[in-house]
Chain A
């Protein structure tokens, strides 16, 4: 789904940060050389088409407690069942099947480390599979968006 020219410029210019001032869309309009109404219409169109995830603050969930990246090596015939078990936890916000010996990867987030440990222990007891537990040690880049490059 290619972006229209204004949408592409808006995302490229403001995916890393938008103005924190009164009338932010007016300031964005001045940068984009269009009207404030066009900025708002552009955001609405992108939201309706699903190409805008949202506009607003992105919070650092690491600061809200503890998190870790976990993985399980699940026999292929059990993958669906184990994946559903994992996704049931409210502590799991991302759960991906990946092509590897460790084929189920998920992010666990909770109020503190003992809480996460209980979830990991429970999963191990339930599934008989020992999770990899790979908490972040250092962040070199955290989800600040990435260059969109030239339209295909």
Chain B
């Protein structure tokens, strides 16, 4: 994953990805199961997980809920045309809001004027509209225009799969 890791570490990391990217089996001790699969000690497996997380290859190790099934049926991709000079401060501010799951700066392009994207989630369209209003208030005069793109249909959504072949 990073340049400083050895070839064997990379091979182990790749195997770990293959074993866990669809989720751990619900066994009594998932790390013991993983250690057996990797043919490592539990200590070495835990150390590998911690290294990959410190390195940034693993974002988090967690219980990931299915938000749609929990009633969070509405998502809105809010997009904002934000003054470039204020983006570092405002990007962090918007990304820190508890109802935002993703917040990215992206380039403007042709007739696409928006440079800040924040995904908001809620249980109704009224709820996500109120979140959009709150973001608009936080951005204030630094925002020249905004929009919210509501998903009408999910056409494809698969868990992320790393390419495992050459």
Contact = CB atoms under 8 A, between A and B. Distances in A.
A149 B66 CA distance: 15
Nearest to A151: B71
A24 B62 contact: no
A64 B50 CA distance: 18
The DSSP consensus for interface residues of chain B is mixed
A104 B155 CA distance: 9
The DSSP consensus for interface residues of chain A is mixed
Contacts of B26: 40, 43-44, 47, 55
Contacts of B91: 138, 140
A93 B63 contact: no
B35 to A, nearest CB: 10
A40 B105 CA distance: 39
Chain B, interface residues (CB within 8 Å), range: 35 or more
A134 B53 CA distance: 27
Chain A, interface residues (CB within 8 Å), range: 35 or more
Interface of A: 1-3, 10-11, 14-18, 20-25, 36, 40, 43-44, 46-47, 49-61, 63-65, 69, 71, 83, 86-87, 92-100, 102, 104-106, 109-111, 132-149, 152
Interface of B: 1, 16-17, 20-24, 26, 28-32, 42, 46, 49-50, 52-53, 56-67, 69-71, 77, 87, 91-92, 94-96, 98-107, 109-110, 112, 117-118, 121, 123, 147, 149-163
